[in-house]
Amino acid sequence: MKPTDFSKSLTDFLSRYLPGERGASKNTIASYKDTFILFLMFQKEKKSMHAEKLTLRLITKDVIVEFLNWLEVERHCCAATRNVRLTALHSFFRYLQYQNPEYMMEWQQILSIPVKKTEKTAINYLSVEGIRLLLDGPDLSNKNGRRDLALLSLLYNSGARVQEIIDLTPSMVRLDRPCTVKLIGKGNKARIVPLLEQQLTILKTYMDEQNLLEPYANKYPLFSNSRKEKLTRAGVNYILAKYARQARRKEPSLIPEKLSCHCLRHSIAMHLLQSGVNLIYIRDILGHTSVQVTEVYARTDSRQKREAIEKAYFDVSPKDVPSWLANDDLLGWLKSFS
**Coil, strand or helix: which one is 192?**
strand
- In a 3-state reduction of DSSP, which class is residue 211? coil
107 and 170 fall within a common domain: no
pLDDT tens readout for residues 220-278: 999 998 888 999 989 999 999 999 999 999 999 999 888 888 889 888 888 888 888 88
Does 69 map to a domain? yes
150 and 89 part of one domain: no
Clarify whether residues 285 and 228 are in a common domain.
Answer: yes
pTM equals 0.69
Note whether 242 and 164 are same-domain residues: yes
Residue 313 lies in a domain: no
Q: Which positions ≥6 away from 166 have C-beta within 8 Å?
A: 221, 223, 230, 231, 232, 233, 236
CATH number of the domain at 231, please. Answer: 1.10.443.10
State the CB neighbour count (10 A cutoff) for residue 33: 16
Looking at the structure, do residues 107 and 135 belong to the same domain, yes or no? no
- Among 142-151, 203-212, 237-246, 294-303, where is mean pLDDT lowest? 294-303
**307 domain residue, yes or no:** no
**Structural domain of residue 133, as residue ranges?**
128-289
- Are 65 and 145 members of one domain? no
- On whether both 194 and 280 belong to a single domain, the answer is yes
The amino acid at residue 130 is G
Residues 107 and 136 in one domain: no
Instruction: Please check whether residues 161 and 224 belong to one and the same domain.
Output: yes
Look at residue 83 and tell me if it is in a domain.
Answer: yes
**207-231 residue pLDDT tens:** 999 999 999 999 999 999 888 899 9
Residue spans of beta strands (DSSP E) within 209-318: none
CATH number of the domain enclosing 93: 1.10.150
Query: How many domains are contained in the chain?
Result: 2
